[in-house]
Amino acid sequence: MGYFRVWVGVGIVVFGCALLSGFALAEEGPAHIHAPKEQRVRMNPNAPCVDLMKEGRLVYRTYCAGCHGHDARGDGPVGRGMNPAPPDLVAMGAVHGDGEFAWVIEEGRGGMPAWKGILDASRIWAVTSWLRMLEPK
Could you list the pLDDT tens digit for every one of the 137 residues in the chain? 554 443 434 333 333 333 333 333 333 445 677 889 999 999 999 998 999 999 999 999 999 999 999 999 999 999 998 988 999 999 988 888 999 999 999 999 888 999 999 999 999 999 999 998 998 76
Name the DSSP class of 30: S
Per-residue pLDDT, 104: 95
- Rounded Cα distance, 72 and 93, in Å: 10
What is the pTM for the complete model shown? 0.74
Per-residue pLDDT, 100: 94
Output the CA–CA distances (angstroms, integers) from residue 60 to 6, 55, 67, 97, in the order listed.
53, 9, 10, 17
Per-residue pLDDT, 31: 61
In sequence order, the 6+-apart residues with CB closer than 8 A to the CB of 133 are: 48, 53
